[in-house]
Amino acid sequence: MVQEFAALGNILTNISDNSAIVSCENAFALLEHEGCQDMGKIIDPGYQLSNPSELEACAARVQSVKKSFL
């Protein structure tokens, strides 16, 4: 029984990881369905992320969305 409890942590971690992946995939699918044009840009192999300094104006909104997601 002790061994089963030891494995429980790994099982819950895997469940959480899988849930996060499914949630992200669904969020991306909804964005694409709603006509978000930026998704195609992000998956392009040559796409480069913006510098953090360029994103400062959006930081507060990103933080609130992140908190809601988590």
* Distance from C-alpha of 28 to C-alpha of 22, rounded to nearest angstrom: 10
Nearest to 68 by CA among 36, 11, 16, 23: 23
pLDDT tens sequence across 11-67: 888 889 999 999 989 998 898 899 988 877 877 888 888 887 877 777 778 788 888
* Distance from C-alpha of 12 to C-alpha of 20, rounded to nearest angstrom: 12
Contacts of 30 (CB under 8 A, 6+ apart): none
Its pTM stands at 0.49
Q: Please tell me whether residue 20 adopts helix, strand or coil conformation.
A: helix
